[in-house]
């Protein structure tokens, strides 16, 4: 019996069936003007001992949202905060948040998209 339980557990781990302990709740999404990309704001909570974060992630429009895909994150702000996004062109995303927000990660490029992050948003 123990051997069969161990085999099932190893198969689940190797097969990627172990679920992340984090919740990723989508707040908003904005599609690029050419329809090829999607910017997503989501709130990420990983349990009582970890602070919630607000994350902006980019992905191709034909890909499903995956909050675990950290290579797609362009902004991470500590806590639950307001974020506004807009696409002035198909290859530029503007992101705004409040000046007092505690930024944990900020990227200026994702693939061929330039990311402009500003702290002009008023609370």
| pLDDT tens column, 16-59 | 445 678 999 999 999 999 999 999 999 999 987 788 999 999 99
Answer for the pair 56, 74: CB distance below 8 angstroms, yes or no: yes
In terms of residue numbers, what domain contains 49? 22-118
Residue 89 in domain: yes
pLDDT, position 19: 65
Residue 17 in domain: no
- The pair of three-digit structure tokens given for residue 119, joined into one six-digit string: 């702290």
Answer for the pair 111, 88: CB distance below 8 angstroms, yes or no: no
Residue 101 in domain: yes
Average pLDDT, the chain: 85
Residue 9 in domain: no
Answer for the pair 73, 56: CB distance below 8 angstroms, yes or no: yes
Question: 117 pairs with which residues across the strands?
Answer: 95
Assessment of whether the complete model's pTM goes beyond 0.75: yes
């Amino acid at each position: 019996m123990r051997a069969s339980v161990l085999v099932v557990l190893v198969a689940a781990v190797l097969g990627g069936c172990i679920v992340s302990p984090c919740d990723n709740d989508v707040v908003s999404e904005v599609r690029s003007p050419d329809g090829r990309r999607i910017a997503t704001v989501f709130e990420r909570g990983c349990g009582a001992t970890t602070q919630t974060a607000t994350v902006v992630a980019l992905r191709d429009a034909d890909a499903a949202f995956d909050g675990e895909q950290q290579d797609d994150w362009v902004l991470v702000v500590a806590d639950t905060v307001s974020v506004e996004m807009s696409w002035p062109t198909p290859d530029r995303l503007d992101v705004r948040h409040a000046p007092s927000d505690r930024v944990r990660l900020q990227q200026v490029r994702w693939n061929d998209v330039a990311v402009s992050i500003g702290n002009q948003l008023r609370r």
